[in-house]
Amino acid sequence: AQSVSQHNHHVILSEAASLELGCNYSYGGTVNLFWYVQYPGQHLQLLLKYFSGDPLVKGIKGFEAEFIKSKFSFNLRKPSVQWSDTAEYFCAVNGWRGSTLGRLYFGRGTQLTVWP
């Protein structure tokens, strides 16, 4: 089975601080990479995705992520967080060929708390 690692379980920041959440995955083939956000009591929403092209992808709400193939990483960044960014963030990976077709693998999530 493929695995997705999110290194930080809980991150606490003050407003305007910069954010970087780490994500590493184990699958060596062609992948789609996603970051989802889950606000308290809500369903998952897509922040951004990568499947090809420019390894630096921009998403909603000022988030961006960089795909580094050699490091199997897809870290999420935001230059200046806001109180409203308090949520749980999930990295997810799927392969759309071969044995991983149809499968989506999630990391365990990172809870971000932003203090005003």
Partner 1 sequence: EAQVTQNPRYLITVTGKKLTVTCSQNMNHEYMSWYRQDPGLGLRQIYYSMNVEVTDKGDVPEGYKVSRKEKRNFPLILESPSPNQTSLYFCASSFNQKGPGQPQHFGDGTRLSIL
Q: CA angle, 24 as apex, 105 and 114 as ends, to 5°?
A: 90
Smallest distance, partner 1 to C-beta of residue 34, A: 6
Q: Residues near 39 by Cβ (< 8 Å), separated by ≥ 6?
A: 45, 86, 87
Smallest distance, partner 1 to C-beta of residue 104, A: 6
Nearer to partner 1, 18 or 61 (CB): 61
| Measured distance CA(49)–CA(59) in Å, rounded | 8
Smallest distance, partner 1 to C-beta of residue 80, A: 26
Nearer to partner 1, 49 or 77 (CB): 49
Q: Helices (H) and strands (E) in the chain — how many of each?
A: 0, 12
Q: Which two tokens stand for residue 29?
A: 């083939």
Nearer to partner 1, 83 or 96 (CB): 96
Q: Beta strand 73-78 with 19-21: parallel, antiparallel or unpaired?
A: antiparallel
Positions touching partner 1 (CB under 8 A) are 1, 4, 6, 9, 30, 32, 34, 36, 42-46, 49-52, 90, 92, 94, 96, 101-109
Smallest distance, partner 1 to C-beta of residue 112, A: 15
Nearer to partner 1, 63 or 105 (CB): 105
